[in-house]
Amino acid sequence: MQPLQNAGYDRAITVFSPDGRLFQVEYAREAVKRGTTSIGVKSSEGIVLAVDKRTTSKLVEPTSIEKIFKIDEHIGAATSGLVADARALVERARVESQINKITYSEPIRVESLSKKLCDMLQLYTHNGGVRPFGSALIIGGVYEGKSRLFETDPSGALIEYKATAIGSGRSAAMDIFEDKYEDDLSLDDAICLAITAINEATDHDTTSDNVEIAVIKIDDEKYVKLSQDEVKSYIDQVIVEEEDDKEEVEENEE
């Protein structure tokens, strides 16, 4: 009986496999892939963060599920993966933001906060006795009239995007973005695009109970979470547009 090729290389975070892989980091990425879909879209008017708050039971209060967080007045984060790990990362991000404000008397830059968070994530990939964070974040914000959108990874890697998604529906959402994203999107169009991506990436009905949206506008640089009524109005708008598109396609086929 031949021993397994990768046996033993996933027992500690500090052990590389012969082909240069850290299996514990890859397992952490799998935890993110099994999480609910979270989305970030950058528009000409600001940042849109949207999350799918999939509930496992009808007894769960949807308002108690937190997947989108305010980091500072001008920065928000959407998470996917292990909820407890995400909350720890969010708390660290909030602390870093306040440290910067106290030290330099100015709000932290979106890129600086993202890098500080990824520095912490990377530390948990090369220290014995710890494990990587099983959570990824989409960090979006506005600073000095510019909107920025970053995606973190359990390995500590950091990438800036115009539109991105994490979680179980990433592939379907990214296909939508590749096809429909434009640089000059208005904030309303970006919200509708985010809802369209969530609707495409999930296998349940998209309603205001299971979708949460936050925006940061360039005009005031303030994080604002949309109410359920506002989310419902955008969802209704997207559904109407999709039905019109289907009717148009059917007419063209005839």
Count CB neighbours of 148 within 10 A: 20
Rg over CA atoms, the chain: 20
Phi/psi region, residue 19 (left: phi>0; alpha: psi -120 to 50; beta: rest), is alpha
Three-state secondary structure along 138-182? EEEEEECCEEEEEEECCCCCEEECCEEEECCCHHHHHHHHHHHCC
Catalytic residue IDs: 36
Angle between helices 228-253 and 187-201 (to 10 degrees): 70
One-letter amino acid at 4 equals L
